[in-house]
Amino acid sequence: MCTGGCAKCLGTTLIPLAVLCTLANILLFFPGGKVVENNLHITDEVWYFGGILGSGVLMIFPALVFLGLKNNDCCGCCGNESCGKRFAMFSSIIFAAVGVLGAGYCFVLSAVALNRGPKCYTGTEWTYPFQDGNYLANHTLWNMCQSPENIVPWNLTLFSLLLVMSGIQAVLCGIQVVNGLFGTICGDCKCCGCCG
């Protein structure tokens, strides 16, 4: 497959993942699917916007660059027809690195949130009742959270989705780094556009 075609495929995959990560982060602002009375009752990691900024906004830029590589004009520069394509593939490496950083940010935040557990009302105060992920294997501990209702499975599901999707995004951007290196060194498999 051409390096430009591969990049377009990666870009096409990154856009729905970015949208899903953004939606998952937005849903985390509604613990248990309900509007909270006080914003201080929302888990801290939600406020760091890992899914909105890291795997959402920062992922749109690489995705759009990757989508545009297939149709990039390769008329060249300095008398070399493949120079334009090679430069475009080189610039895609930089955007892929931005994507890896954004996905990594979301991945780390999600892992920390899963380990820490949700903020909930334990009957006496709003706190983080779980320590070091001990609630993941022991479902009886979930009863410690009295409010919001179903907060543990809510946070567990959404942060797990963010963890998995940001991991996929990081891998896809890593693939584009390698693809971009091949495209920079070897050029695309064919020249297109005004060069004929």
Residue 85 has a pLDDT of: 76
Task: Count other Cβ atoms within 10 Å, centred on residue 108.
Answer: 16
Residue 192 has a pLDDT of: 42
Contacts 24+ apart (CB under 8 A), 20-24: 20/161, 20/165, 21/51, 21/52, 21/54, 21/55, 21/56, 21/59, 21/106, 21/162, 21/165, 21/166, 21/169, 22/51, 22/52, 22/55, 22/56, 22/57, 23/51, 24/51, 24/158, 24/161, 24/162, 24/165
Residue 74 has a pLDDT of: 53
Digit-by-digit pLDDT tens for the chain (196 residues) are 577 788 889 999 999 999 999 999 999 999 989 998 899 999 999 999 999 999 999 999 999 999 988 665 555 444 455 567 788 889 999 999 999 999 999 999 999 999 999 999 999 999 999 987 889 989 999 999 999 999 999 999 999 999 999 999 999 999 999 999 988 888 765 544 333 3
d(CA 64, CA 6): 13
d(CA 92, CA 24): 27
d(CA 75, CA 61): 24
